[in-house]
Amino acid sequence: MKILITDGLANDAVEKMKEFAQVDMQFYPEETLGEALKDYDVLVVRSATEVRQKVIDQAVAHGKLKLIIRAGVGIDNIDHHYAREKGLSVRNTPSANSNAMAELTLAQLFAVSRFVAASNVTMRQGEWHKKEYRGVELLGKKIGLIGFGHTARLLADKCHALGMDVYYFDIVGEDKNSPHTFVPSVAELIKEMDYITLHTPKTPDGKPLLGKEEIATMKDGVRLVNCARGGLIDEMALVDALNAGKVAAAGLDVFLNEPTPNETLVNHPNVSVTPHIGAQTLEAQQRVGDEVVSVIKEEMKLN
């Protein structure tokens, strides 16, 4: 068996794979990936590699590839429905990153409430803005979660423990086992929230989930956090809302154009930014690697 890993993986996981397969680690751009896959049974990607229909067609024509694994949660960088139609198995590791992403989202909630990011910069510049940095507390605030998968559920519990009132919307409907409050639509959810966080894949048409019209319906002074997918918030509409004070602050780990995001947004004084590090913890990387190994063994029917 031959395995191709294009975007890196924990060393321990790679060593475990080498016990039952030949493992190659190399990034291929979309235009050359399909041809490269003629030699491989398994492809393991993260977010950088795009596996689109042309790549899938080339791989299927060679007849060797059987399994594509997204080492992470979202699989929107893979045309997964098309791949399955062509007989390929497509898997991900939906829970391995969840706690790391929930904790970063929580960190951004603190950052946008207490000027953590901004004051870190200004103090290093020799400035002392104690009076200007009057923040708000999370205690007693309403937070709305758009999407209620693994990450959102963990975040909801953490926010509840901090004394926040937690509301959520999910396309599959209400979770009867959750103690948090279900709201039946995004439009209804975002109207009265003090904080809004996003936990969904990209929209099917690639358009923002929260644009100018949606932001206009939000509470004045709302705070937004997106550690899910770039493009879920209209970035220029967000800049306008920040400038107008409609949005008090935003915490962003993901951007429409990575690794060269909108400079106006990144440099805005009321924005806390991180470079797509939601899954970048030692523990998460270990869990992702272990889950990838388990998926390969299961799919390829190895003991």
Over residues 219-230, the pLDDT tens digits come to 999 999 999 999
Closest-CA residue to 88 (of 66, 57, 69): 66
Longest dimension (CA), the chain: 66
Task: Please say whether the beta carbons of 3 and 42 come within 8 A.
Answer: yes
Annotated catalytic residue, options 127, 188, 258, 283: 258
Residue 303 has pLDDT above 70, yes or no: no
> What's the distance, CA 147 to chain centroid?
12
Q: Which residues contact 217 (CB under 8 A, 6 or more apart)?
A: 187, 190, 191
Known catalytic membership, residue 258 = yes
Annotated catalytic residue, options 70, 153, 223, 276: 276
Greater confidence (76 vs 23) lies with 23
Backbone CA torsion sign across 122, 266, 211, 102: negative
Residue 284 has pLDDT above 70, yes or no: yes
Return the pLDDT at 171: 96
Q: pLDDT-derived band of residue 57, with 50, 70 and 90 as boundaries?
A: very high
Residue 204 has pLDDT above 90, yes or no: no
Q: pLDDT-derived band of residue 302, with 50, 70 and 90 as boundaries?
A: confident
What six digits make up the tokens of 203? 């929209």
Rg of the Cα atoms in the chain: 21
Known catalytic membership, residue 276 = yes
Q: Rounded to 5, what percent of the chain is helix, strand, coil?
A: 35, 20, 45
What six digits make up the tokens of 53? 């229909």
Cα 210 from Cα 219, distance rounded (Å): 14
Cα 88 from Cα 70, distance rounded (Å): 13
Return the pLDDT at 95: 87
Annotated catalytic residue, options 153, 180, 229, 287: 229
Task: Please say whether the beta carbons of 168 and 148 come within 8 A.
Answer: yes
Return the pLDDT at 17: 97
Q: What angle do CA 44, 77, 276 make, to 5 degrees?
A: 90
- Determine the average pLDDT of the residues in 192-218: 96
**How far is the first Cα of the chain from the last one, in angstroms, to the nearest whole number?**
14
By residue count, the chain amounts to 303
Average pLDDT, the chain: 96
Q: pLDDT-derived band of residue 152, with 50, 70 and 90 as boundaries?
A: very high
Structure pTM? 0.90
